[in-house]
Amino acid sequence: MKGSDRAVKIVVVGGGAAGLGMSARLVRLLKKAQITLIDPAERQFYQPGFTLIGSGVYRNPDKVWRRQSDCIPEGVKWVKQAVTALDPAKNTVTVADGAVYPYDFLVLTPGIQCNWDAIEGLSYKTLGEGNVHSIYDFEGAQKTWKAVQAFVEKGGRGVFADTYTKHKCGGAPKKICLLTEHLSRKRGMRDSLKFDFFTASKALYDVPLFTPRLEQIYKERSVSINTRMRVKGVDTAAKKVHFIRTETIKREVPDPQTLGAVKAVDEVVTTPVVEEYDFLHLAPPQSAPDFVRQAGLGWTEGSLAAEAWVMVDKGTLVHKKFANIVSLGDVAGIPTSKTSAAVRKQIPVAVRNLIALIEGREPEAIYDGYAACPIVTDYGHVLMAEFDYDKKPKISFPLSLLDMSRERRIAWFLKVYVLKPLYFYGMIPGYW
Ligand SMILES: Cc1cc2nc3c(=O)[nH]c(=O)nc-3n(C[C@H](O)[C@H](O)[C@H](O)COP(=O)(O)OP(=O)(O)OC[C@H]3O[C@@H](n4cnc5c(N)ncnc54)[C@H](O)[C@@H]3O)c2cc1C
């Protein structure tokens, strides 16, 4: 890829999968640019490993992180602060200690904010109380593994739920459910356990090539699928989870166009539902970080508005209002699955388009929406769902030699042994 000799100031906000991968490539291609990466984190986590910690596949949790200082590419200035404000009109970023960083171009990659408090009766601090667990957090994943074993040992009802907002790795809540179910069989305890999965969506999964097999697996394993059920709150003392069930019904109303006639309209009906549990696994509601919304960079209309994901063009990843901002990764408001697999394919597009902008050209590289979600179906198999914006399969070589609409052992090896080193030694340093 051709670089640029322009002496521009680039600020990268957020040094995770997207921010580090971008910085590493940019520093090699832009010899005279000044690149500043802002991120307060001490550690760089390989988050897909959280599912494997929560299910006991990774017994040493410390293997999923590296020191952030070891991940910052040479030649990039690291500001170890959280961004608190961003002014896209003045091209400045303000951090927690009050310092202001001006930029010519901004790479916006701060990932997702988990809003634990948006579930009544729950907060990040109380996670674990009342046997409520979540692998959407490093410590949470470790507690989950302890709780999963105790639950399988003791018996009872396991309730597993996703959330109503867009969330990273939509497969994660399903994976921990299936792994716990398989663990109960491995330990000879399946008959004393009941498994129920609740999704806020209309269906368990929505990628045509993979959905039928996934639904079949749930059926074969006697895990119920309950759709349109959104977690509202948890009574941890009583071990009850409160859902809101949403249904769309047809209703007849007078037709103002024709006297005496009626017409059918859709009406959304919500019903409260309470379920008892012995073990509860949740995904927290998620959004863009607050400073993104406050800066007016998020979507303001439609289904993406409430969560304020960054308003970028879904092909070029360039902001729709501010042409000196590119955004990718979980924070980007694009209709694909929020995964590091997607980030890997977004990075080269965002790099090319940023260089075009720096050179005064139109951005021309296009991201096709590629995302991958390795759905771990048991200890030994993974349904490797890979697809694009149109939900068409995008199977990678060499797995394309097999029917990948089914769970595969080779995909398990990839997931458990190969992807983590590829993340730390290939993707983050900008080589893969
Ligand atoms: C349980 C779980 C399972 C997953 N499983 C998979 C999987 O199997 N496959 C897959 O591909 N993906 C998976 N993912 C998703 C994947 O981890 C994310 O999609 C990916 O990390 C997104 O990269 P990102 O750079 O956008 O965000 P992140 O990697 O989260 O990085 C964001 C960075 O921004 C920083 N930041 C946040 N706020 C600020 C601020 N105010 N100022 C400055 N910096 C800030 C953070 O410290 C962080 O370093 C999983 C995630 C979870 C939680």
Q: Which of 250, 245, 233 is nearest to 271 (CA)?
A: 245
CA distance 121 to 262: 44
The question of whether 114 is a catalytic residue gets the answer: no
pLDDT at 260 over 90: no
Residue 111 CA to ligand 1 center (angstroms) comes to 5
DSSP assignment letter at 114: E
> pLDDT tens digits for 358-369?
999 999 999 999
DSSP characters over 189-250: -GGGEEEEEE-SSSSS---TTTHHHHHHHHHHTTEEEE-SEEEEEEETTTTEEEEEEEEEEE
DSSP-based three-state secondary structure for 90: coil
Residue 15 CA to ligand 1 center (angstroms) comes to 9
Domain positions in the chain are 9-112+288-368, 118-285
pLDDT at 397: 64
> pLDDT tens digits for 228-245?
999 999 999 999 999 999
pLDDT at 258: 84
The question of whether 373 is a catalytic residue gets the answer: yes
Residue 289 CA to ligand 1 center (angstroms) comes to 12
* The token pair that represents 107 in the structure block: 């790479």
Lining residues, ligand 1, CB within 6 Å: 13-19, 38-41, 47-48, 50-51, 82-83, 109-111, 135-136, 168-169, 172, 289, 291, 329-331, 338-341, 343, 372, 374
The DSSP element (H or E) to which 68 belongs, if any, is helix 68-71
pLDDT at 400 over 80: no
pLDDT band at 427 (very low <50, low <70, confident <90, very high): very high
**Atom of ligand 1 lying closest to residue 342 CA:** 11
CA distance 191 to 71: 47
Average pLDDT for the chain: 96
> pLDDT tens digits for 332-390?
999 999 999 999 999 999 999 999 999 999 999 999 999 999 999 999 999 999 999 99
Residue of minimum CA distance from atom 23 in ligand 1: 17
CATH-assigned architecture of domain 9-112+288-368: 3-Layer(bba) Sandwich (3.50)
pLDDT band at 94 (very low <50, low <70, confident <90, very high): very high
CA distances from 111 to 212, 282, 331, 372 (A): 31, 19, 5, 17
Q: What is the CATH number of domain 118-285?
A: 3.50.50.100
413's torsion region: left (phi>0), alpha (psi -120 to 50) or beta? Answer: alpha
> pLDDT tens digits for 150-163?
999 999 999 999 99
pTM for the model stands at 0.96
pLDDT band at 80 (very low <50, low <70, confident <90, very high): very high
DSSP characters over 273-314: EEEE-SEEE----EES-HHHHHTT-B--SGGGTTTT-B-B-T
DSSP assignment letter at 264: E
